[in-house]
Structure 1
Amino acid sequence: KRKKKKGKKGEKGKTSSLLSPVLVETFVITFLAEWGDRSQIATIGLAASSDPVGVTIGGIAGHAVCTGAAVIGGRHMAEHISERAVAIAGGVLFCLFGAHSLVTGLEE
């Protein structure tokens, strides 16, 4: 009988779960969406005039609450509405907003 070693395989499992595809995808999407956002600009302004540690903690806490609410809300919606229905509704709204912009013109 050969004994199985638990060394490197277990360590690899921990690392791969830490850098799972969904974690990396979520990080990249959130990072790119938030870069240059109004909330980031406001945070820069606060950090320039206030305690940077307090601004950092407050910003992280606020973002965590908003993201947590989105995750919980999305999970709840997924139980009641199909992904196809959400995609169709999003497409229809996108077309309606585009048509509205064409009709009213872009205001400067």
Structure 2
Amino acid sequence: MIATILLSFGVLFLAELGDKSQLMALTFSLRYRWWVVLAGISVASVAVNLIAAGVGHFLGAALPASAIAVVTALTLLTVGLWTLRDALSNADESGDTPPPSTRNAFLVVISAFMLAELGDRTMFAAAALAVDNSWLAVWIGAVAGMVAAGALAIAVGKFAGKHLPERGIAIASGLLFLFFATKTLLDAFATGLDGWTSAGLALVVPVLVGAGIGAWKLAPRPRAEMTEADQSAKALP
């Protein structure tokens, strides 16, 4: 059993390196508290790998990949637009942007990770391991591997976040989620594209949105209304 746990840990950890789930963990860590992201990843990993180790190979064949991709993309798109809205709506306010509530952040992380992992290569890897090994050992090792990969991404995100402005982090996070949403759809429906081509095409959306945000911020603003002091001075004879 120990050997199966170690095998599952290694396979899932390596499968997660550079995967969209690990990149999502890094992106979430730029926006939310690290322990909220890690807790959400842990809960999602427990649920997804339980499905994979138990009936993953049957469930994966039954669920249409296109439907999963659409729901995942819509979730990521919503999170991205929500993040950009919060960042831009506070662009002219002084002080730090208040952090999202812990409950909302936790639910967002869980839902995004569960949807991203359904039908992903890591889920099928866990299901394949469970065919000839103890499902319990595979489940334990797979959960540990996914959480370890997520923790690594969170650590990188938090280290980078200390050297970047908060508003810039929020805007970058929102654009990354738009990239993930677009790439998810391309991978599901444009199956003839290789990984690099789909990634390049997916970059078009965040680049265009980022250019629009930059143009909006550089556009001349209307003159501010006069202050009370200016109005009083103007009223004097």
TM-score (norm 2): 0.29
- Report what 1:28 is aligned to: 111
Structure 2 Cα separation of the partners of residues 88 and 32 of structure 1: 18
Shift of the 35–88 alpha-carbon distance from structure 1 to 2, 3 Å rule, reads: closer
Give the secondary structure class of the aligned counterpart of 2:162: helix
The equivalences for 1:84-103 within 5 A come to: 86=172, 97-98=200-201
Alignment equivalent of 2:138, drawn from 31, 55, 59: 55
Alignment equivalent of 2:151, drawn from 53, 58, 68: 68
Alpha-carbon RMSD? 3.1
Tell me how far 1:21 sits from its aligned partner: 1.0
TM-score (norm 1): 0.60
Tell me how far 1:86 sits from its aligned partner: 3.7
Q: Which amino acid aligns with 1:28?
A: S
Shift of the 60–87 alpha-carbon distance from structure 1 to 2, 3 Å rule, reads: closer
Structure 1 Cα separation of the partners of residues 170 and 107 of structure 2: 25
Q: Does 1:38 align with 2:124?
A: no
Tell me how far 1:71 sits from its aligned partner: 1.3
Tell me how far 1:73 sits from its aligned partner: 1.1
Q: Which amino acid aligns with 1:97?
A: G
Q: Which amino acid aligns with 1:35?
A: L
Aligned length: 80
The sequence identity of aligned pairs, in percent, is: 23
- Report what 2:169 is aligned to: 83
The equivalences for 1:11-22 within 5 A come to: 20-22=103-105
- 36-45 or 68-77, which deviates more: 68-77
Runs of 4+ in 1 over 4 A off after TM superposition: 87-91
Structure 2 Cα separation of the partners of residues 44 and 31 of structure 1: 16
